[in-house]
């Protein structure tokens, strides 16, 4: 799938931006992974300092989807590390967006996927299996629903109610 430039998407879809059908996430994310630009339908996950459900979802076939994790913005541990980055690549995920931290940055940067996260942190997360899959989430004031589309590149991250074309 050809990746669309987020600036061009914004320029050609001003009506969608105005109606809320296309939302721009605040510029709070760091860029990781080899895929600097990626897009795909969204799978949502809500967890807090616990990555058991992250692994469970990444063990399923990605089929070009993007896993968007609302980690509550926690800066106290990482929700994704090098092993999960490799798993996501192997299972066909297009990318991962984490409202929280990642670790093993050098390993994740070797993976052929796109990753966005608030920061890196060396501590691993808890392993209790607490969280919610496939639910609406809110990241930095932006509502994100399962099945919407995410577009990311070096300019930013967009959320669209439907797949876009130029």
Please report, in range form, the residues annotated as the binding site for substrate.
81-84, 103
Asked if 68 and 44 touch (Cβ cutoff 8 Å), the reply is yes
* Residue numbering of the annotated binding site: 81-84, 103-104
Asked if 50 and 129 touch (Cβ cutoff 8 Å), the reply is yes
* Residue numbering of the annotated binding site for Mg(2+): 104
Q: Where are the beta strands (DSSP E) in the chain?
A: 22-24, 30-32, 38-46, 66-70, 78-80, 95-102, 114-120, 132-133, 137-139, 142-144, 149-153, 156-160
Asked if 152 and 38 touch (Cβ cutoff 8 Å), the reply is yes
Spatial separation of the C-alpha atoms in residues 105 and 82, rounded to whole Å: 7
Spatial separation of the C-alpha atoms in residues 61 and 44, rounded to whole Å: 15
Least Cα distance to 66 among 131, 139, 13, 166 occurs for 139
């Amino acid at each position: 799938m050809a990746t669309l430039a987020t600036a061009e998407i914004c320029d050609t879809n001003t009506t969608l931006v105005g109606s809320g059908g296309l939302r721009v996430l605040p510029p709070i994310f760091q860029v990781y992974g080899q895929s600097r630009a990626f897009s795909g339908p969204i799978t949502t996950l809500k967890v807090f300092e616990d990555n058991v459900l992250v692994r469970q979802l990444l063990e399923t076939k990605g089929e070009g989807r993007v896993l968007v994790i609302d980690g509550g913005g926690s800066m106290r541990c990482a929700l994704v590390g090098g092993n999960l980055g490799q798993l996501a690549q192997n299972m066909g995920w297009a990318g991962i967006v984490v409202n929280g931290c990642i670790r093993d940055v050098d390993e994740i940067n070797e993976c052929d996927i796109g990753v966005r996260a608030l920061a890196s942190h060396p501590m691993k997360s808890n392993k209790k299996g607490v969280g919610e899959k496939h639910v609406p989430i809110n990241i930095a004031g932006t509502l994100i629903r399962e099945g919407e589309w995410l577009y990311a590149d070096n300019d930013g991250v967009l959320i669209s109610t439907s797949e876009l074309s130029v």
